[in-house]
Structures are given as C-alpha cells and as structure tokens.
Structure 1
C-alpha cells in the first residue's frame, strides 16, 4: 500500500483517503446544519431545495422529471419530495400545458411565503460553511471538485 513516500510525506493513497474523509466531514456537517434550519419550517433540506428550485422557475413551476435532474435525485425521490410538499399545501401538481403525459410541480402562494421566510437563512448557512476560504480559494475548490466529479462520473475505476 502506498501510505507514504520515502521522504515521509503522505503518498497518493493516503491523500486520496484523506480527501474522501474531508469531503464526507464537510458534507455531513453541511447536511446537519441545513436540515436543522429546514426543520424549523417543518421540512427537510431536500424539500426546501425543491421549493428553492421552483422559486427560480418561470411561473414557479417545473416538470417533475426536469426538477429531479436539476436536483440530482431520482424520479421516485422527486415524486416523494413533491408528495410531501403537496400534503403540506406548499406545492400543487398541475397538468403540463402541452404534454398530457407530464405533470408540473407548482409552488403555491403558501409555499412562496415559506420560501420568503426560509431561503434567506439557508443562504446565510451556505455562505457561512465556506467562510474559512477566500473567494479565490473557493473558486479553485469548486473547479477542482468539478474535475473530480466529472472523472468519477466518467466511470473512474480502481486497480487492484
């Protein structure tokens, strides 16, 4: 195993392990904070993300399929999220204007009011998570993580 180089510096295997652990710690800490914030509004952060996405759409509506793609969740998951939001009166399902096979999720007035209250606090939390980095460092991190995500999505494999 390539734990360290001959000069005592961590080897690639060790650095890769540390990178995964660091990403996991950041993701878990961010998820906890964002879920805690959303819970104050009776939601999960995933549901608050759906509301945020709908706020950014024309007429506050989007096709469930496109919404799932945008949020990076499966069709069954976006359906469950919208089901829960619909039960809470925050979202309603409407027929697609031109394709009878498709359904739109539409943010209700109640959902828009909740978004107006909840989303500014979510933005503050997201910014605060990254306060340890200046703008240039954050831009570099975003670029580097994009490279890694593209590589992982392209079917990166491990060798025995």
Structure 2
C-alpha cells in the first residue's frame, strides 16, 4: 500500500487583520472593475452598439474568473474574515448585492436585444416569403389557387454587424 499523502492546500489562510483586509480589498477592487465592464456592456447594448459591447467580453471573462477565485478565498477564510474585519465583510456583501442588481439589469437588456433581433429576423423571413404579385394578377388569379403564385425569389441578406 502507498503511504497516505498529505494534501497541501495551495490557497493561503488568513492569519491576521492585515491579510484579511488585503483579501477583501482585492476582491472589492476586482468586483469594481467587473461592475464597470458589465455596466459599459449594458449601455452599449442599450445603444445598439453590439460590436463595441462584444469587445468587452474577453475582459469581462477574465475579471469574472479573478472574482470567482477571490470569492472562493473569502469562503475558505470566512471565519477569520468575520473575526478580523467584520465591517469589511459587510461592505463586501453590500457590494456583491449591488453587483447582482447590475447583472439582473444586464440580463434584461440582453434578453430585450435578443428578442428584438429575433423579431427582426422573423419579420425579414416573412417579407422574403411573401408573394411578389398581388393575388388578383398572374396565374394565381386565373387558376383560383394561390399555389401558382411566385414567391419572392430574391436573396435574403442579413448583416451580422449592426
């Protein structure tokens, strides 16, 4: 049998108030930067500047990863943080709640943009498939059957850049 190995936790433990404050400040700084990027993205989508909004995605992803690692550190050291800097823990919780509100707004704006885009594509598809001639003219009028009406055979072109 193999000897039992001691698993070393690579995440540092908070041992004093200075380390606790440093952790909270680092997480708050990351949260502030992430909030700024999400806020910019929201406003750009609202303004219909989707390509500009999409440019924020890599930075948003990077900051979200850093923030999540920070949150894991906070969870790992929750008892020490509550003991050393309880007021800062409250401050972090308040900032996290404000960020959740910002994310909700962002999701609403993105859902609205998605619904508008789908509506536009649906309307375009409907227009592209309408008959080219009025029902009173052409083969459909003489045959009495709309099966002979010619659909619009023109190409449908959709721009991916708005």
Would you call these one fold, judging by a TM-score over 0.5?
Answer: no
Rg larger in structure = 2
Q: Which has the higher strand share?
A: 1
Structure with higher RCO (Cα < 8 A, 6+ apart): 2
